[in-house]
Each structure stands twice: as C-alpha cells, then as structure tokens.
Amino acid sequence: MESPDISVVVLAYRSASTIEGFVTSLVTSLEEEKIDWEIILVGNYIEGADDQTPEVVQRISDRNPRIKAVVHVKEGMMGWDMKSGFQAATGNKLAVIDGDGQMPCTDVIRVYNLMIEKEYDLVKTVRIKRSDGYYRMFISTVYNLLFKIMFPGISARDMNSKPKIITRELYQKMNLESDGWFVDAEIMIRARRLKIEIGEIETAFHSIDTRPSFVKPLAILEFLANLIWYRIKEFGEK
C-alpha cells in the first residue's frame, strides 16, 4: 500500500470535549486541498484518570479508515505522545498539532504549502497574536529567551509553536529522546546540529476554557535543566 503524502499527528490528551469538532474541520481542510493524508489521533492517558479522550478518539477512528487511534497508558508527557504518534504514522511528511483548538487546523495546510513551495525539511508556525493570557505568554517568553541564550545561531522563533511539519527522512535522523515538554526544543536543537533551514509562518493562538493549562511554574526549571544538559551533551559530541 502506498504511503500517504502527509500524516497529521493530533495530540489529544484530555481533549475529549473538543477533539471531534477539531478532527472534522481538519479532514475538511485536507480534503479541500486534495492532499493525500492520514490522521493519527493520540489519546494516551494516565491510568485511573477521569478522561474520556481514549474512548472518543477510538470512536472517531472506527468511523474512518484514514484515521488511526493511538491509545496507551502514558509513560511520559508530550514528547512521548508525539513520538508514539510518529511511530504509528506512515506518511512521507509528519505533522504534529495539538487537538484542543488553540491552533487553527487550517495552519496544517499553510505550513504544508510552504514546505512544498520552498522545499524545506522542517516548517513551523510562529505565534504572533496570542489570547492565552499573560501567564502562558510569560512562560513562553522565558522559554524562548533561555533557549536563544543557550543555543545561539537558530533563526527560528517561538520554538514551541505548532503545527510543525518535518520530512520523514529528517525525523529519522533526529533520534529524538525527550519524553516530556522539552521535545519541541529538542527538535530545534537537532535541526541546528544538522544545519537545517527552518521555514516559518505567522499564526494566531487562541485561549481555551475547557481545561486549565498543563504548563506549571516548575516547568521553567525543568526546561532550564534540560537546556543545560543538552548543551553539555552537544559539546561532548563535537
């Protein structure tokens, strides 16, 4: 069976109330562009948690053979979810986006078109207009500032923004290790190491009121510790 041109990995953790509408809009966008696609819905869950997401994503998958459900007890956070989705994907290009509606699903099309037009191996969005509150914007600003200080020379902005699309060939070269929130930064670090030019488009980032933010204050310390570790590791690889 021939591989689709793109696999869209949708991170649906605790998104039971929003994921169905998001997927409907995403499928419509992909069909309108006549892109050869598959969708990977990642509904990994914490054992014992009150979360209906696994059942919802499985139900969506059962209705459409081009949509796969990945449902496992979580062994990590966002990085682990992302990699479990990529592992199930068969497309030549691998996209990742959150399924909570903060990022427009139509951005997948915009990022894809830029990748095709400019022949990039990695393209992402940059959040210019944000309505997710001062707390999230503060955390994001600190993240990006620390990242620029520790890893100078990367022209890309807003490393955590999605969707990101990466060619399968580049993804396989990256050998991502992070199972947590650091995975977006690791992608940028690996791209820097491989001297990859990163394409970007601007986007808006919307607030949600269906659940609290998963990003906690201690995440900054965790992020800084990871930055230091990867910086030391990079020196060791030279």
- The arrangement of strands across the sheet holding 67-70 comes to 67-70, 37-42, 6-11, 93-98, 164-167, 122-130, 198-205
Q: What is the pLDDT of residue 169?
A: 98
**Pairing state between β 67-70 and 37-42:** parallel
**Pairing state between β 122-130 and 93-98:** unpaired
Residue 20 lies in a domain: yes
Which residue type sits at 2? E
Confidence of residue 238 (pLDDT cuts 50, 70, 90): low
Report the number of distinct structural domains present in the chain: 1
Residue 191 lies in a domain: yes
Confidence of residue 56 (pLDDT cuts 50, 70, 90): very high
Q: Which of 96, 18, 109, 2 lies closest to 60 in space, CA to CA?
A: 18
| Tokens 């400019």 found at | 118
Residue 1 lies in a domain: no
Residue 230: domain span: 6-237
Tokens of 154: 């990367």
Q: What is the mean pLDDT of residues 57-65?
A: 98
Residue 165 lies in a domain: yes
Decide: residue 190, CB within 10 A, 0-12 exposed, 13-18 middle, 19+ buried: buried
| Tokens 């969506």 found at | 60
The CATH number that applies at residue 133 is 3.90.550.10
pTM across the whole model: 0.91
CB 43 within 8 A of CB 12: yes
What's the pLDDT tens digit per position in 23-33? 999 999 999 99
Confidence of residue 109 (pLDDT cuts 50, 70, 90): very high
The helix/strand/coil state of 142 is helix
What's the pLDDT tens digit per position in 111-156? 999 999 999 999 999 988 766 667 677 777 888 888 888 888 887 8
